[in-house]
Amino acid sequence: MHLRAEALILSVRPHGEHGAVVRAFTAAHGMQPGYVRGGRSRALRPVLQPSNQVLGTWRARTEEQLAALTVELLHSCAPLFGEPLPAAALAWVTALTATTLPEALPFPRLHAALEGVLAAIEAAPAARGWAVALVRYELLLLAELGFGLDLTRCAVTDATDDLAFVSPKSGIAVSRAGAAGYEARLLALPPFLQTGGEAGWDDILAGLRLTGHFLARDLLTGKGAEPIAARERLVDRLLRAVA
């Protein structure tokens, strides 16, 4: 196995005394794990920062063996980790992707969307500039992994207009008429997820509650506490920003 490709660093785990196991996301070859010798050294720690873009070279004698990985830094997001909100967003979106994606399967749309989210965070560290992109990324991740929501029709009336809620069980939209009397049991569907464009804080937080419900139920169960904690930190900091 010999692979050379640009990749986004998603996670870094200590391995042995000095090394690190890195999971990196490539456009054509999906998630690729690799062992970086000296990955915990002073020279490599800034390179192996989740969200950084690198040129990686993976080498292994067999497909089953964990490949040895060497990296060259192409672009660093390190300055963003000095700001609480961008840092929380980067930590969450990389942890989510690293935790949920299977290895070695290409997800080109997801890779392009993740690059877009990272670019949006870098271009506009204020959350209003990237939160909408983050919610859309979470929805795309659900869809790419087989848990997509149906936001095109009402689960009760089959209508395609005036959709304002989503069933937390089926993941299908519900119109205002179809939701009558049951609104408290449903998740709000913010308009920007249907019409596009910018969104206010209330809609952004509603979008995060919507995606958060299905991520926790369908993708993160049994995956450990770290991804959930990363998302809780992000939402907490967003709520502080709104207050």
pLDDT tens-place string over residues 182-209: 999 999 999 999 988 778 999 999 999 9
What φ, ψ does residue 4 adopt, rounded to 5°? -130, 120
pLDDT computed for residue 113 by the predictor: 98
Residue 66 near residue 60 (C-beta atoms within 8 A): yes
Domain housing 218: 80-151+189-243
Same domain assignment for residues 72 and 84: no
**37 lies in the same domain as 109:** no
126 and 197 fall within a common domain? yes
- How many domains does one find in the chain? 2
14: amino acid identity, one letter: P
What pLDDT does 198 receive? 79
Predicted confidence at residue 5, as pLDDT, reads 98
pTM greater than the 0.85 cutoff: yes
- E strands of 98-222, at which residues? 163-166, 173-175, 187-188
**Same structural domain, 37 and 101:** no
The set of residues, in sequence order, having a beta carbon less than 8 Å from that of 189 and lying 6+ positions away, is 151, 163, 164, 165, 166, 173, 174, 206, 210
What integer pLDDT is reported at residue 178 of this predicted model? 97
CATH number at residue 227: 1.20.1440
- Report the alpha-carbon distance of residue 222 to residue 42 in Å, rounded: 33
Last residue of a domain, one of 76, 104, 122: 76
- Predicted confidence at residue 85, as pLDDT, reads 92
- The reply to whether 52 and 106 lie within a common domain is no
Instruction: For the chain, list residues with pLDDT below 70.
Output: none
Q: Can you say whether residue 198 is alpha, beta or left, with left for phi > 0 and alpha for psi between -120 and 50 degrees? A: beta
